Amino acid sequence: MKLLEDRIKAEGKIYPGNIVKVDGFVNHRIDVKLLKEIGKEFYRLFADSGVNKIVTIEASGIAFACATAMELGCDVVFAKKSGHKNVGDDVYTEKVISFTKGREYDIVISKDYLSKEDKVLIIDDFLADGNAAKGLIGIVEASGADVVGIGIVIEKGFQPGGALLRGIGIRVESLAIIDSIDGNTITFR
Amino acid sequence: MKLLEDRIKAEGKIYPGNIVKVDGFVNHRIDVKLLKEIGKEFYRLFADSGVNKIVTIEASGIAFACATAMELGCDVVFAKKSGHKNVGDDVYTEKVISFTKGREYDIVISKDYLSKEDKVLIIDDFLADGNAAKGLIGIVEASGADVVGIGIVIEKGFQPGGALLRGIGIRVESLAIIDSIDGNTITFR
């Protein structure tokens, strides 16, 4: 998605350790015009896939999941990170290792909101090692629902998540794939 | 907002301690049709207020902030809860006591994304004791920006947050105000 790649080139901030910060338009301040276009692009990619539910994970995935759901006309369920009193006990749960936080946490979705009839599109802002995505796939499959595909705003192509997920037959559509960061130069796939 | 009140009556689950769970359409599964209507209602209420930025707090506020921002045509900034490596050090921060989690945490917004020219609408899903809202107001005021008002999806009118905020001159618009819960009967203001 050229609009997104251009924005990453213009405003992404590069830090040591192959970190690209896009908090100016993706995961702290959200550019709502770009958000709408991202929703439309995921709609274009998945409109014919029979999706009836979008699953994401709090917090940064929620905006993109909702923008996509508005186009597809379906509901969103967002996985919560552990420590929520008000989810109840009847949940699907998986353990996830966070790349940015450097620790392990549980993610949960209430069993009330996934069923074996669901055709689920997973949406998230970033794909790096694929840990959050694997956790969400585990939860969706535990419910008996189908994972139709995964829509990612920015994939870090030099980390193993994308290859790993595609390798097990999951359809992964990333709107921008960063293949390398060399000094101040970002190269897209 | 009658659509929302009817939904709370039909699907809200009442638990001991005046807890109303609306995780079926507000804060775990999000009904995207209702979400759009909520965005339109906040637009109707605040369209003439000169809002150029919406501020919310992760995670459940993000969907409603984005739906409203899509109508108003402005950007969203969401406050992060502490522990984020990737926000940087140059931040506004406030301490917040969580009603549902029963503990204190820090909320932060990067100084890059608020300025004294901003006219800010604060959006959140719930207002109870008003602690999150007070924290967000503190951050917005620390930046020199104006708080134009606060838009709340569900206010618990029997808790002190709404009266406290209105008492200090803040315009608070809640789409549903629950005044009392008696057995299985919810009474709206």
Tens of pLDDT, residue by residue over A81-128, are 975 656 678 999 999 987 666 789 999 999 999 999 999 999 999 999
Please give the single-letter amino acid code of residue A63. Answer: A
Mean pLDDT of chain A: 94
Tens of pLDDT, residue by residue over B55-71, are 999 999 999 999 999 99
* Closest-CA residue to A64 (of A74, A80, A76): A76
Range A161-184 average pLDDT:
96
φ and ψ of B94, to 5 deg: -140, 155
* Closest-CA residue to A178 (of A160, A152, A161, A155): A155
| Confidence at residue B139, expressed as pLDDT on a 0 to 100 scale | 98
Residue for token pair 């689950």? B13
For chain B, give every domain's residue range: 2-188
| Confidence at residue A71, expressed as pLDDT on a 0 to 100 scale | 98
| Confidence at residue A122, expressed as pLDDT on a 0 to 100 scale | 98
| Confidence at residue B86, expressed as pLDDT on a 0 to 100 scale | 63
Nearest chain B residue (CA) to A19 = B86
ipTM of the complex: 0.95
The two tokens of residue B144 are 């020199």
Instruction: Determine what percent of chain B is predicted with pLDDT higher than 90.
Output: 85
- Looking at per-residue pLDDT, the higher value among A37 and B20 belongs to A37
Q: Which CATH class is domain B2-188?
A: alpha beta
Instruction: Determine what percent of chain B is predicted with pLDDT higher than 70.
Output: 96
Asked if A77 and A55 touch (Cβ cutoff 8 Å), the reply is: yes
The two tokens of residue B145 are 């920006």
Instruction: Determine what percent of chain A is predicted with pLDDT higher than 90.
Output: 85
Q: How many Å lie between the alpha carbon of A162 and the closest alpha carbon of chain B?
A: 22
pTM across the whole model = 0.96
State the best of A18, A19, A21, A28 to mutate against chain B, taking most chain B CBs within 10 Å. Answer: A28
Asked if A109 and A75 touch (Cβ cutoff 8 Å), the reply is: no
* CB-nearest partner of A66 from B19, B66, B109: B66
Residue A39 to residues A71, A89, B59, B186, Cα–Cα distance (Å): 6, 32, 19, 36
| Residues facing residue B123 across a β-bridge | B151
Provide the CA A189 distance to its chain's centre, in angstroms: 18
* CB-nearest partner of A75 from B31, B70, B75: B31
Nearest-angstrom CA–CA distance, B174 and B127: 8
Asked if A177 and A132 touch (Cβ cutoff 8 Å), the reply is: no
Tens of pLDDT, residue by residue over B104-137, are 999 999 999 999 999 999 999 999 999 999 999 9
Outline where DSSP puts E strands in B36-103.
Answer: 53-57, 75-81, 91-97
- Looking at per-residue pLDDT, the higher value among B102 and B156 belongs to B156
Interface of B with A (CB under 8 A): 19, 21, 23-24, 28-33, 35-36, 58-60, 62-63, 66-67, 69-70, 73-78, 80, 83-87, 100-102, 109-110, 112-113
Contacts of B100 in chain A (CB under 8 A): 84-86
Q: How many Å lie between the alpha carbon of B75 and the closest alpha carbon of chain A?
A: 5
Tens of pLDDT, residue by residue over B29-54, are 999 999 999 999 999 999 999 999 99
Q: How many Å lie between the alpha carbon of B41 and the closest alpha carbon of chain A?
A: 16
Contacts of A110 in chain B (CB under 8 A): 23, 28
> What SS3 state is found at B32?
helix
| Confidence at residue B54, expressed as pLDDT on a 0 to 100 scale | 98
Tens of pLDDT, residue by residue over B134-148, are 999 999 999 999 999
Nearest-angstrom CA–CA distance, A113 and A74: 13
State the best of A66, A124, A156 to mutate against chain B, taking most chain B CBs within 10 Å. Answer: A66
